[in-house]
Amino acid sequence: METFPQITLQQRVENAIVHNAHLNSCKIHYKTNEAGRLTIQGEATSFFAKQMAQEILRNVEGVHSIENSLTVAW
C-alpha cells in the first residue's frame, strides 16, 4: 500500500493563498507554528481584501488562531 506524505500546515496555507481569487492582488507573507497559530503580514488592496484573507485562512485545517497584521495599501 502506498502512503502519501502528510501535508503541513504551511503547505495548506500556501495552497489557500495561491488558489483563491480574492487573495491574488494581496502581497501576503505568513508564519505558522505547531500550535496552529498563523501570522499574516504584507499588503492588502482594501479593507475587504484584508478581512477576506483572514476569513479564507481561518478555514484552513489546522489553523487555530490568526494574527492579521496586513496593512491596506490605497
* CATH number of the domain that residue 40 is part of: 3.30.1340.30
User: What 3-state class would DSSP assign to 43?
Assistant: strand
- Average pLDDT on 34-56 reads 94
- Average pLDDT on 3-23 reads 87
Any domain includes 1: no
Does residue 1 have a pLDDT over 90?
A: no
What's the confidence (pLDDT) of residue 66? 97
- Assigned C-alpha cell, 14: 500556501
CB 40, CB 30: distance < 8 Å: yes
Any domain includes 52: yes
What's the confidence (pLDDT) of residue 42? 95
Domain count, the chain: 1
Spatial distance between the Cα atoms of 53 and 13, rounded to a whole number of angstroms = 11
CB 44, CB 70: distance < 8 Å: yes
Spatial distance between the Cα atoms of 72 and 6, rounded to a whole number of angstroms = 34
Mean pLDDT of the chain: 91
What's the confidence (pLDDT) of residue 74? 75
